[in-house]
Structure 1
Amino acid sequence: MREAVPAMPREQPFAPDRLRWRVFDALGRPGGTAEAPLRRYLADGDARKRFELADRLARVYDRCLLYRPEWIRAWEAGETPHWQARLWRRLTEGVPTPAHWVAAVDAFREAAEPSAGEREGGPRQGLAPRMREPSAGEREGGPRQGLAPREKEPSAGEPAQPPVALELPLFDKLEERQPTDKPRRVSFFGIGMLSPSYLDVLRAAESYIDIHLFVLSPCREYWSDIAPKRVIRRRAAPRRPEDDYRIEGNELLAALGKPARDMQALLAERELALGSPEESYDESSMHTALGMVQNDMLNLRTATEGAAEAPAPTGLEDSSLQIHACHSAMREAEVLHDRLLALFDEHPDLEPADVLVVTPNPGKYGPAIDSVFATAERIPFHLARRPAAGTRGLRALLDLLALPGSRYGAEAVLAPLECASVRARIGIPEERLASVREWVRNAGIRWGVDGAHRRDEGLPGVEGHAWRLGLRRLLLGYAMDDQDTLFEGMAPCPMRDGGLPAGAEDYEALGCFARYCDDAFALRDWLDEACPAREWGARLRESLVARFFAGDEWTFDDEARRETAAVLRCIDEWETQCEVETPIPFRVVRQALGEAAGAEDRMVARLADGVTVTRLGAGQTFPARVVCAVGMNDRSFPRSPGAPTFDILAADEERRGDRNVRDEDRFAFLEALLAARRAFLVTYTGRGLRDDAPIPPSVVVDELREYLARRFDGVEFEVRHPLQAFSRRYFDDSEEALYSYSDHMRNAAEALVHGQDGVPGRLQVKVDAVSDAEPAVDLDTLTRFFGAPARWFLQRRLAARLEVEEVALEEDEPFGLDGLARWQLRDRMWGLRSRGVDAPAAARLASAEPTLPEAALGTIAVTDAADAVDAFHAAMTEHAGALAAPPLPIDLLHGDMRVTGVVEAADAEEDYLVWWRIGSIRAKDRVDGWLKLLAWILAGDRQRNACLLGLGSKGLESAWLQGPPPDEAAGLWTAWLDAWAQGQSRLLPFAPETSWAYATAIAKPKRNEDGSRLRFRAKRAAENKWFGSQFGFPEANEAYAALAYDGGGPVDDPSFEPLARSLLLPLVEAGRKVRP
């Protein structure tokens, strides 16, 4: 067309992505919103609303160009008065013709058609066809050469003429090229639907060049007049004469094949497929349900006719057609993985590359499939289509553009640093990101650049938790060694917890981070600016990409370079689309770039070395031995996009060939069904996660199920899966349709099954006992073990390390102190007092802590903490002698086991030790103090006592422990060491809080309570403590305990009760409120 119409531009100015900017410009000019509907909608002057309206209008105009070309011609001729036509005329003013599709088609047809004089035998004019003498071979009946059209048989009464060839100047130009450059033939593949106007162009061109359309036709019979039964019933009074001839035919073709029917009808109307059609239809040779369904469509049989003419074998059971109802996208991916493994076992010649997975929602199901398949590492796979925003570079671009106008929350400012290109440009290595996050947390940074920014947000201009003050605290922490000194009222923030000195890499990273923050804060000025697209493009490259993204001169990392290239490509494409000179507000630029970055990668789906996962869409499915349609959920597929009130095409009566998204989706499902050569699998979310209530599938799956029910009487094709992949139903052979290939899930199911018969979910693992040659056990190690036996066993004996989940940074300033913050404040104040700082100075230092609320709320918190610390300090003063005592060495030999260590705060003259903590006295603290007391008694061979002090949420807590005599202490010590030895080879059924709850209940029987009732009540108390309540953190939720017991607990172990009795009952009985 461009050769025939040289004026046709190479870049289409009226393509939707370009046209929307022309509309945006027109709506922003004086009089652009004179029309009443536009004036009301755009009255507030919001540029984003104008851009969104322009985008919707551009897409309406684009559909009019393709499907209502006569409207466009009438609008440009001034024959239509409505506002869309007037706006269109303004858009085309001053644009060289042909600028859009309709004008290009008209120009091409005018160039291709002969003039009236030529039709009467006159001389050739302009671009009309001209005669060419046939070659010698053609005169002798040989094959047609070059670009000559097919000969046409003369009609009756028409004199026979020698073969001739018609050519255009277009083809004169082509003749001047090298022979290999001449397009002798143009072939179209994978065409599901073409607009009537595009077919008209092909009709005009097919006289001059061989055009071949390869069109998918699921039926060898004439089927353009079939319709679904619901449509036939609805047409009781036909609106068109041809409606009288509507028949149902094959139900699936009638329900799903409308675009293909319309396509074939349009081809027939234009005689594009009647010259010399070549048909290629092959019946499926598979005697399977899939093959029978495909043959029914091929021969236009209904389900009832198919069952009668080609009945299924008795007892048909095959895997060629499967429907699976699951509870979530992740469960669908797990079921898909297992079913593919089963197909590979059933068909040894099947390879992963023979499998195509299609889904209407790759953004949701792609990550689920990636997670399941990548974790199992048994089936290679390839995600053929990924959202472009999935690249971290584009994600970082959007995160940076989102900062202007935002609250500058802690997470929002740190988000771009997840991009390798940004880190390389800023100079912060990936391994330092965790440190940066910790700095932000410790500096109390929540949101806001500074006080002025907070005032702009309509809040008081305090800076307590803003970025500027937080960064100054961090820089003070770098510059000052003394953390107990204020500088201009600010408390320095140490760069490492515990006051550890920072290394050179910390200092360098802090400096780079501060510069990055300054550049990010400077983006605030962009919010209210507006300038033409070219200026925005230059600013984005110079002020954003150059400052935040690494070019070749900054990094050798290929990933970082790819991310930078993706960002620049996105900006270039946007600038190319936006050809108007009108100033564009920043908010509109940000929205447009967000849409461009979030667009799906246009990479074509292909068969890779493994399973290919791609989007389900019309014309995008290619034949594969196994096709799987995943995520076929109700309300997700087929799509039902709403039409705006100004969509005049949607309001017009539907014509044959009009695009209908819902019908296209239906046909895409039909294409997927036809593309399958050996098996077709469908999965959908068919059960509720919370209540297990049934959820209907997509309507296309429902129609397939109805067809299969009529076609194969008594055969069940749908499998309803359990909620969990480790359900015992997958492994107990009770249901043939349920099975799993996951060893991990089998082990989990077996553990649960065994747990129901014995210990629920308990880790059934034993390891070798500790070697006698191992070094002595430290006393502190012993106490840490009994504080968390499950953690110890998994970490030390099984070498299991659980990754700590990164906790999101807070982005709202505190209005009070939670338990942890209250403890931190008291611990800070106690540290100051213990280092000799007086009470007023300690209060001033604590008031500068970044974790405190602002103003009076912070003052109240500091006052409460100071009062509590003063009371605790007074209590500790009473035990000054013990606290000042030097550490006492411990070296105890018990059989082959040696325990060494020190006991601190032990007054040998008064025969008591002091154990204290800032916080409530817990069961593990009592165990810690008890073990140290027993060790001190045995080391000195003398009865002694212990005082436990704590500063809980309600104030001072104290308890005394009366130590046993040395001989009795030796027996108690032996019980603890035996438990230690057991815990080195297996999971010890002991948890301090839970076991303490059991022991305290056993130690205090109620009146007239027999032994069985006492044990039952004690176990209930222990279970309540283990699983917790709304008022406390349960031990069952501790990560290592949850892994070790997997839903169960130590209370169910037969040795739990005797262990709690032998270890903790003496501790309970030793407790005293006052000094013995």
Structure 2
Amino acid sequence: APLIEASFCLDPGAGFHPGHRLRVQLASGSAIAVNPVLTVLAELLDLYSQRATSVDLLDFCQLPPVAHRFGFGTDEIERLRELIIDSEIRWGVDAEQRRRNGLTITQSTWLAGVQRMLISLAMASEPPVALGTVTPLDQVQGSDAHLIGQLAELVSRVRKIGRSFTDQATPQAWAAKLREAVELLASTEFEDSWQISHALGEIADFEEQTAGSKGLLDAGDIACWLDTRRKSASRRPNYGNGSLLVTDLNDLAGIRSKVVCVLGLDDDHFPGTPAIDGDDLLRLPGRRPATHWTTDRRAVRRQRLLDALLSAEDRFVVITQGADQASGALRPVSVCIAELMEACAVEGAAGQWRAASRDQLPPEETLVRWHPLQPHGWQDYALSGADQPASFDRHGLQGARALQAPPRPLVPHWQLEHTTTRESEVDIEQLIAFFINPARVLLRQATGTTRSSFERELQTSLPIEMDYRASWSAGNDLFKMLSAGHDAERARSSVWLSGQVLPGPIGAQVLDVQLAEASRVARSGRAVTSGRHRLADCQVELTGIQLQGRVQLFDDRIIVERFGYPRPDDALTCWLRLLLAVAGFDGDAAQPFGLLIG
């Protein structure tokens, strides 16, 4: 649909091909199949019956009725993604849903993550604190208060509705529950208000159809009813309105048209793969009687193609790929098109797929017409006689002429022009960042943006078996707290409750190992940083540039600490700071030296 809208029904302004003004429509789905409010109800029932992961939470927030109800825009969704990752939300709406799945662990649920976000608005993460079993997050700002409040309200309403799904109830009671869900979770713009009216109408029809029934239904029954209503809905009758209609073969049966054009009749997609693989002996019918052709998916699709052929009154056009898109090598004719050509019974070269003498025949006399694969193919614009080639597709014609012209030297598609202005002052931290990653610094200076080194992913399972990176992350948090002088037990409790490790003996073993390593590195750091501390402002005059910066010294030592093995970046950072300190060295003071701790 987006490609259709981008290519047709455009504003008839200058520069457009007349074909862009054609009124092209898709065979629209039914209102029940495309109603986002009914999608909200279906997703809500799925959350109850499935694990309700962090991905499900973010996807639920992006549903148009939910996003409109709680004010989640594009920027808010991006920030929600970061908050969900930082709060270690994995799966489960709350502890009750975890218990239904046989698990008593309460960390990393939707509710636990939202509680961590809320407490972060009132309490800082340092020193390590905990309110019951909830610890605050880092990087939570006051501007996130409204967004966190809206997310907390969403989770609260989902929990309220989900608790009512646990018990069996009569159809009338289920209708009341669904109305409450629509009222609490969905809203639309004024022009889309039909979506809520239609959803309430479907619920009313369900209640009317089950009036007088005393049977009890559960959430699975309601989910099946809603799924059946969405799948069994027929399409809207938008045929015959003068538009160029794009649909599938199933909708062409019994509908006559002047011209029928079928796209993509290749062996990879039509008539499709059989329902049973040839070597799957367990699914073969054996001695059972042969099934009817209507149960064979391939036979049904071939019949639909025949129906489309018979429904064409003037023209029946088939467009398929005849050459490889990369190499241009000819592809063999597909089985379906070969059968169509045989049924047409055109003799001679005019009825062949690719004959050597077909280029000598007029195009209107051949059954198969070949066109260039790209819109700038010269064959589409070449004319006989002295006429100049012309086309409404000006860009395609320019490309065709460029291909016919003599080759010219290649010009880079894009080139990043670095600024030629030289700064008179350079900070030592800028110099360090440049030597660590020159491309990133140049990109930031030239474009004002940069590319992050990696994109964090939403986690959907508890950390039962932690990899090296997850273990290092927990140990690094412990190391930061211990280096800041906080108590070891409080630091351990803070990481334990954050959800980074699994509660129980498995998580305790990981924490004990990381705490011992973090304590060792932190003690080494405190031993060399406990002396005299001072900040030295250093300046060095270079050729037209002044290098300056503030260097932190502990008893004339420049110290760089890292939890884990020191990397070359750490050695480079220490060395550059040491060079600046030595260049600005005062003869009366002791000469500084560098120290790496890891």
TM-score by length of 1: 0.42
Is contact 1:446–1:811 with CA below 8 Å preserved after alignment?
A: yes
Which runs of structure 2 are paired with 1:420-459 in the superposition (5 Å)?
Answer: 420-426=64-70, 431-457=75-101, 459=102
Q: Give the structure 2 partner of residue 474 of structure 1.
A: 117
Q: Which string of whole-angstrom CA distances, capped at 9 and with x for unpartnered residues, describes residues 155-194 of structure 1?
A: xxxxxxxxxxxxxxxxxxxxxxxxxxxxxxxxxxxxxxxx
2:221 partner amino acid: V
1:639–1:843 distance in 2 versus 1, CA, 3 Å: closer
2:339 partner amino acid: E
1:897 partner amino acid: I
Is contact 1:399–1:416 with CA below 8 Å preserved after alignment?
A: yes
**Structure 2 residue 154 is matched with structure 1 residue 516:** yes
> 1:639: Cα distance to partner?
10
1:638–1:863 distance in 2 versus 1, CA, 3 Å: closer
> 1:560: Cα distance to partner?
5.9
> 1:400: Cα distance to partner?
0.9
> 1:449: Cα distance to partner?
3.8
Q: Which string of whole-angstrom CA distances, capped at 9 and with x for unpartnered residues, describes residues 362-383 of structure 1?
A: xxxxxxxxxxxxxxxxxxx644
User: CA–CA distance in 2 between the matches of 1:946 and 1:486?
Assistant: 35
Is contact 1:637–1:665 with CA below 8 Å preserved after alignment?
A: no
> 1:440: Cα distance to partner?
3.0
**Structure 2 residue 305 is matched with structure 1 residue 670:** no
1:608–1:674 distance in 2 versus 1, CA, 3 Å: closer
Which runs of structure 2 are paired with 1:695-844 in the superposition (5 Å)?
Answer: 697=334, 699-706=335-342, 711-713=350-352, 714=355, 715=358, 717=368, 765-767=415-417, 769-772=419-422, 774=423, 776-799=425-448, 809-844=458-493
2:142 partner amino acid: A
User: CA–CA distance in 2 between the matches of 1:918 and 1:734?
Assistant: 66
2:497 partner amino acid: A
1:811–1:481 distance in 2 versus 1, CA, 3 Å: same
User: CA–CA distance in 1 between the matches of 2:574 and 2:396?
Assistant: 47
**Structure 2 residue 568 is matched with structure 1 residue 923:** yes
Q: Give the structure 1 partner of residue 263 of structure 2.
A: 629
Identity of aligned residues (%): 20
2:43 partner amino acid: D
> 1:399: Cα distance to partner?
0.6
> 1:470: Cα distance to partner?
3.3
Match of 1:547 among 174, 184, 195: 184
Match of 2:106 among 444, 463, 483: 463
> 1:872: Cα distance to partner?
0.9
Classify the secondary structure of the residue corresponding to 1:447.
coil
Match of 1:854 among 487, 499, 503: 503
Match of 1:571 among 203, 224, 229: 203
**Structure 2 residue 19 is matched with structure 1 residue 351:** yes
> 1:786: Cα distance to partner?
3.0
> 1:813: Cα distance to partner?
0.8
Q: Give the structure 1 partner of residue 230 of structure 2.
A: 597
Classify the secondary structure of the residue corresponding to 1:484.
coil
2:585 partner amino acid: G
Q: Give the structure 2 partner of residue 537 of structure 1.
A: 175
**Structure 2 residue 582 is matched with structure 1 residue 949:** no
Is contact 1:385–1:604 with CA below 8 Å preserved after alignment?
A: yes
**Structure 2 residue 59 is matched with structure 1 residue 415:** yes
2:547 partner amino acid: V
User: CA–CA distance in 2 between the matches of 1:763 and 1:948?
Assistant: 45
User: CA–CA distance in 2 between the matches of 1:639 and 1:861?
Assistant: 49
**Structure 2 residue 547 is matched with structure 1 residue 902:** no
User: CA–CA distance in 1 between the matches of 2:506 and 2:416?
Assistant: 53
Is contact 2:528–2:554 with CA below 8 Å preserved after alignment?
A: no
User: CA–CA distance in 2 between the matches of 1:685 and 1:890?
Assistant: 71
Q: Give the structure 2 partner of residue 222 of structure 1.
A: none
Q: Which string of whole-angstrom CA distances, capped at 9 and with x for unpartnered residues, describes residues 622-645 of structure 1?
A: 445x94524655565489899xx9
Q: Which string of whole-angstrom CA distances, capped at 9 and with x for unpartnered residues, describes residues 1003-1027 of structure 1?
A: xxxxxxxxxxxxxxxxxxxxxxxxx
Is contact 1:396–1:415 with CA below 8 Å preserved after alignment?
A: no
User: CA–CA distance in 2 between the matches of 1:491 and 1:823?
Assistant: 22
Q: Give the structure 1 partner of residue 494 of structure 2.
A: 845
Listed as ranges, the gaps of 5+ residues in structure 1 are: 1-328, 341-347, 356-380, 655-659, 747-752, 951-1076
Match of 1:558 among 176, 186, 190: 190
**Structure 2 residue 174 is matched with structure 1 residue 526:** no
> 1:520: Cα distance to partner?
1.7
Is contact 2:129–2:490 with CA below 8 Å preserved after alignment?
A: no
1:904 partner amino acid: Q
Classify the secondary structure of the residue corresponding to 1:403.
helix
Classify the secondary structure of the residue corresponding to 1:934.
helix
Classify the secondary structure of the residue corresponding to 2:225.
helix
> 1:881: Cα distance to partner?
6.0
1:445–1:665 distance in 2 versus 1, CA, 3 Å: same
Classify the secondary structure of the residue corresponding to 1:827.
helix
Q: Give the structure 1 partner of residue 220 of structure 2.
A: 587
User: CA–CA distance in 1 between the matches of 2:596 and 2:164?
Assistant: 59
Is contact 1:891–1:901 with CA below 8 Å preserved after alignment?
A: yes
1:720–1:819 distance in 2 versus 1, CA, 3 Å: farther
1:928–1:607 distance in 2 versus 1, CA, 3 Å: farther
> 1:814: Cα distance to partner?
0.8
2:320 partner amino acid: T
**Structure 2 residue 330 is matched with structure 1 residue 682:** no
Q: Give the structure 1 partner of residue 390 of structure 2.
A: none
1:706–1:469 distance in 2 versus 1, CA, 3 Å: same
Q: Give the structure 2 partner of residue 618 of structure 1.
A: 253
User: CA–CA distance in 1 between the matches of 2:342 and 2:241?
Assistant: 32
Is contact 2:165–2:218 with CA below 8 Å preserved after alignment?
A: no
Classify the secondary structure of the residue corresponding to 1:887.
strand
Listed as ranges, the gaps of 5+ residues in structure 2 are: 9-15, 277-284, 360-367, 383-393, 401-406
Q: Which string of whole-angstrom CA distances, capped at 9 and with x for unpartnered residues, describes residues 477-525 of structure 1?
A: 334346434446524223xx33x5423xx33433333332233223244
Is contact 1:385–1:613 with CA below 8 Å preserved after alignment?
A: no
State the aligned residue count: 532
Which runs of structure 2 are paired with 1:144-155 in the superposition (5 Å)?
Answer: none
User: CA–CA distance in 1 between the matches of 2:449 and 2:311?
Assistant: 45
User: CA–CA distance in 1 between the matches of 2:536 and 2:342?
Assistant: 83
1:352 partner amino acid: H
> 1:938: Cα distance to partner?
2.7
RMSD: 5.0
1:703 partner amino acid: E
> 1:830: Cα distance to partner?
2.0
1:441 partner amino acid: I
User: CA–CA distance in 2 between the matches of 1:766 and 1:485?
Assistant: 46
Q: Which string of whole-angstrom CA distances, capped at 9 and with x for unpartnered residues, describes residues 756-792 of structure 1?
A: x99xx998625254324x5633222222233333333
Q: Which string of whole-angstrom CA distances, capped at 9 and with x for unpartnered residues, describes residues 882-920 of structure 1?
A: 7x5323223333323333322234654xxx522223344
Is contact 1:826–1:866 with CA below 8 Å preserved after alignment?
A: yes
**Structure 2 residue 147 is matched with structure 1 residue 502:** no
Is contact 1:404–1:523 with CA below 8 Å preserved after alignment?
A: yes
Is contact 1:570–1:596 with CA below 8 Å preserved after alignment?
A: no
Q: Which string of whole-angstrom CA distances, capped at 9 and with x for unpartnered residues, describes residues 64-99 of structure 1?
A: xxxxxxxxxxxxxxxxxxxxxxxxxxxxxxxxxxxx
1:798–1:447 distance in 2 versus 1, CA, 3 Å: closer
> 1:855: Cα distance to partner?
0.6
1:618 partner amino acid: A
1:833 partner amino acid: L
User: CA–CA distance in 2 between the matches of 1:623 and 1:576?
Assistant: 44
User: CA–CA distance in 2 between the matches of 1:734 and 1:794?
Assistant: 43
User: CA–CA distance in 2 between the matches of 1:518 and 1:548?
Assistant: 11
